[in-house]
Each structure stands twice: as C-alpha cells, then as structure tokens.
A and B are shown apart, each in its own frame.
Chain A
C-alpha cells in the first residue's frame, strides 16, 4: 500500500487539524497516524495517510491542500512517502 505523507507547518491557530481532517474525509483519505507538536507558537504536524481509495490523485490532493493551507495561513505539503523512504532508508 502506498502511503501519503502530509505535513502542516505554520503559526498555530484555531481549527487547523479540523480543517485538514475535514478535507481528507471529504476526499476519502484515511488517516493512519498523526504526530503533532507546538514549539513557541509554531504548529508542526505530520500525518501518515492512505489515499488509495480517494478519487483524487496525490498531485490533486497536494494542490487542494496547498490552497487550504493558504486560506488558514499555514503551509501544507502532501507527498508520496517514497521520497522520504528513499532518502532516509537504505
């Protein structure tokens, strides 16, 4: 199963997780794992998701999440997990 990694970075505000999760639910993306921290008011979240049943491609999801991020003032990236696996695992 290919996994999709979603990262959200930016200034903390109300409803970031809610909005991201709503978007994922609407697009049939299942969340497998979430880790999240706030350091000095800076919000940092990583989600491991399964987007195989989504009607949208990773590229389309990435575009949608980027727009969503812009609307709430955070940066959201959505990437195929392999870029991280390749770089950090032999």
Chain B
C-alpha cells in the first residue's frame, strides 16, 4: 500500500513545486459542419462545440477537486478553419465571422482559448487558405480567445516561401491591429513547420484531419518539480543527472495519464495523447531556465546551454514515454521568453540573444516562442527569421515554430506587459541586415533529400 513518504512527495510537488496538469484540450472535428451557406456553417459550428464541450470545464474542475491536482486550463482545438470555411467563405471578412462564432462558443462553454483558426499550407496555398491567412489580423483583433496557426513547411513537402513571406506581413499587420494592447494579437499567432495534429498547447493547437470526431488530449507540465529534483543531485555526474530527470518526468506524466483517462471516461470522448512538456509560467519556480541553471549554466545563453537543453529534452521524453501508452503533441521542453521568469532574467542580463535561442530550438520541442522584438522590424526580416526556423524543423524532422511579437512603438530595452500566463518580455534586438532579396524570390524550398524514404 501507498506510504506516507510517497503521499508527502506527491503533495509537495503539487503545493510547493507547481506540479499541475497544464491543459485538458478537447479536439473537435468541424468537418461535418461544412455548408455552402455562411450563416448555416456558423450555426453548425456553434452547435457542435456546445454539444460536445458543454461539460468540459465542470468535468475538469471535478477531477481537479477529487484528485487534488490543479488543472490550469481547459481548452478546445478545432479542425483548421481554412478547410471548414472554404465552401462558404469567399473573402477574408467571411472567415472573420467564423472567428467570432468560435469566440462566442469559447465564452459560452468557459474555455480560455480555442485553437484552430489555422491553415495548412506547407506546399501550396488554395484561395481559401490565403483568404483565411489574410483574415488573421482582423480575426485576432476582434476576438479574445481565438488562437491562430499556419503550418508553412514540413520535412515531407519543403517550405512554402510564398506563405513565409505573406506571414511576415500578417505578423506585422496583427501587431498593428492590436497596438493598443502591446500587439497582443501576435501572442496568439504562431507559424509552424511539421505541426503535429494532436498538440494540446496553444497557440499552435488544432484538430488535425487525421483525428477522430472528438478527442481528449492532455498537456502536463512541471518544470518546478524537475528543478527541485535536480537541486538534490547538484555536482553529481551526467548519468545521475539524466536518471533524475527521467524518473521525475515519469512521475509527472503518470499524473497526466490519470487525468486524461478520467476526463475521457467522464466525458465519453476517446483519449488521444499525453503531451509531456515542461511548460513554464511566469511564476517563480515554474521555469525551464531555472532547470538549465540547475544543470550548471550561469544563465541560459551561456556556453553549454544548448547541450544542457538537449539532454533535458531527451530525458523528459524518455521518462515520459514509459508513463503513457500514447504520447504525442510537442512533448519536450518549451523555451518561451516572456512566459519564463528565468529566460526574462537571462535576456535582461545580456546572456541570451535571438541567435542563441535559434540554436536552442534545434534541440528543444518547439521554437522561437513569445519573443518581443522592436516594432520597426520589417516584415521581410520577420519572414527571414521564420524561414530560418522552418529550415531547422524541415532538416531536423522536428516541429519548429515562431511566435514573434513586433511591438508597435517599442524599441530594444523597453518592456512589454502581456499579463497572466503570457507574462512580460524585454524587447530583443533582431539582426539589422537585410534579407529582402532572399524572401522575395517566391516559390518554395524543395523537400530535403532525407524525406525520400519510400
């Protein structure tokens, strides 16, 4: 039987080390909502979300109370809207009506974000995809809870550089449209390469077309728990270090597995995957940067940081896969800047630059995340940064993402406050040399040689 030591260990993780289940995300397919009548389409979408998700928040809260584990967010992801809206939406403005419908449904069922205002254009864009992408700035400006993502590349297809160039403009325009809120719209817009179909984390969550009608995906977290465990093996060799991370990741993931199974059973919706990510928040002690420091670098960004992050990411996966039969999503360590107090401190101290972050994204689970850059950064430069990051994903067969926030009216050294889970961020410099002649070429970058495995 369970003993007092084990019970206390679990409760200490929850009460002192910020162990939580970061999100229960219900994926909902909207493919059966398709109609050629815009009004009908919106009604179908609203009805379906309410029918499937009306119990999501109360169920999450009940599990939270029964097991004594915080479940921070309850969210929804839907089929990429570009695929759903195409029949009815002839203009970007038509797509915005769907964004408003999704926002209304999110408010009604009480979820704090709804993801899937998305287009998948890794090889080419249809007219519908382009209309959706062009509607993103308006959609993010007039809604509160919508998250948008665009997949512009993959290892199998290469990189759609027309879409990359367009996203440079869209990111700028989104910043401009939400400038009264420190360009907050860009915090809800992510550009991806190799986007997973079952990611429960925002802003990149959508319900892929390979998925069932509805599914429950769960994202676990717990950087504070890993940090605490590592503080007990300070100075020990890499074998012990890795073993400690693995064991901790196992324990954390088991809690996620329990919550996912319970949520799935109670809601009568199949369980999809556990995303075993270390997702930081601005709270002290809930930081991936602090783990890197505990591993042995003075600040993230110091020499050795990429290696430390690589081993962290790998050990988290190794511990996690033992704990759940179905792992998926992004699974690994997130390195957002604004959402992690340790990263913010590293930037402020001058230890961490965008270039070093780019190197770190080669070995972490996502990419350049929640980075505030000067408002006068050109659309071409943003497209160039996106292209670099997409290339890393394409060549390394991993998911990469870019969530840059060119904050209108702010320059290097200023601070930007987003509030809540999104935190605050010091504005970081972007390389000032030009790349127009590169990003303006048009067309696409072919898939790499190692994609031809057939």
- Chain A residues at the B interface, C-beta cutoff of 8 Å: 5, 7, 9, 33, 35, 37, 44, 46, 48, 57-59, 62-63, 75, 77-89
> Which A residues are in CB contact (< 8 Å) with B65?
58-59, 62-63
Interface centre among B6, B11, B66, B69 (most CB of A within 10 A): B66
Asked whether, in the complex, the Cβ of A57 is within 8 Å of the Cβ of B66, the reply is yes
Asked whether, in the complex, the Cβ of B62 is within 8 Å of the Cβ of A82, the reply is no
Asked whether, in the complex, the Cβ of B67 is within 8 Å of the Cβ of A79, the reply is yes
Shortest CB-to-CB span from B235 to chain A, Å, is 27
A59-B62, A77-B11, A88-B10 known; A83 vs B68 contact (CB < 8 Å)? yes
- Chain B 243-257 interface 0/1 with A at a Cβ cutoff of 8 Å (1 = within): 000000001001101
CA distance A5 to B68 in the complex (A): 11
Asked whether, in the complex, the Cβ of A87 is within 8 Å of the Cβ of B66, the reply is no
Asked whether, in the complex, the Cβ of B255 is within 8 Å of the Cβ of A87, the reply is yes
Asked whether, in the complex, the Cβ of B67 is within 8 Å of the Cβ of A78, the reply is no
Asked whether, in the complex, the Cβ of B11 is within 8 Å of the Cβ of A88, the reply is no
- Chain B residues at the A interface, C-beta cutoff of 8 Å: 1-4, 6-11, 15, 62, 65-69, 251, 254-255, 257-258
Asked whether, in the complex, the Cβ of B66 is within 8 Å of the Cβ of A5, the reply is no
CA distance A87 to B5 in the complex (A): 13
Q: Of all chain A residues, which has the CB nearest B64?
A: A59
Asked whether, in the complex, the Cβ of B69 is within 8 Å of the Cβ of A35, the reply is no
Asked whether, in the complex, the Cβ of B8 is within 8 Å of the Cβ of A7, the reply is yes
Asked whether, in the complex, the Cβ of A88 is within 8 Å of the Cβ of B8, the reply is no
A7-B8, A44-B8 known; A83 vs B62 contact (CB < 8 Å)? no
Asked whether, in the complex, the Cβ of B254 is within 8 Å of the Cβ of A35, the reply is no
Q: Of all chain B residues, which has the CB nearest A84?
A: B2
Asked whether, in the complex, the Cβ of B255 is within 8 Å of the Cβ of A79, the reply is no
Nearest 8 CB-CB pairings of A with B: A59-B65, A79-B68, A88-B6, A83-B67, A86-B254, A46-B4, A86-B258, A84-B2
Asked whether, in the complex, the Cβ of B254 is within 8 Å of the Cβ of A5, the reply is no
> Which B residues are in CB contact (< 8 Å) with A58?
65-66
Asked whether, in the complex, the Cβ of B2 is within 8 Å of the Cβ of A86, the reply is no
> Which B residues are in CB contact (< 8 Å) with A57?
66
CA distance A62 to B64 in the complex (A): 11
Asked whether, in the complex, the Cβ of A83 is within 8 Å of the Cβ of B258, the reply is yes
Interface centre among B15, B69, B251, B258 (most CB of A within 10 A): B258
A7-B11, A83-B258 known; A88 vs B67 contact (CB < 8 Å)? no
Partner of A62, one of B4, B9, B66: B66
CA distance A57 to B67 in the complex (A): 12
Asked whether, in the complex, the Cβ of A83 is within 8 Å of the Cβ of B4, the reply is no
Asked whether, in the complex, the Cβ of B251 is within 8 Å of the Cβ of A87, the reply is yes
> Which B residues are in CB contact (< 8 Å) with A5?
2, 7
Partner of B2, one of A9, A44, A75, A81: A81
Asked whether, in the complex, the Cβ of A79 is within 8 Å of the Cβ of B2, the reply is no
Asked whether, in the complex, the Cβ of A85 is within 8 Å of the Cβ of B2, the reply is yes
> Which A residues are in CB contact (< 8 Å) with B68?
62, 77-79, 83
> Which A residues are in CB contact (< 8 Å) with B255?
83, 86-87
Shortest CB-to-CB span from B262 to chain A, Å, is 8
Shortest CB-to-CB span from A34 to chain B, Å, is 10
Shortest CB-to-CB span from A64 to chain B, Å, is 12
Shortest CB-to-CB span from A12 to chain B, Å, is 16
Partner of B4, one of A44, A77, A82, A89: A44
Partner of A80, one of B8, B67, B251: B67
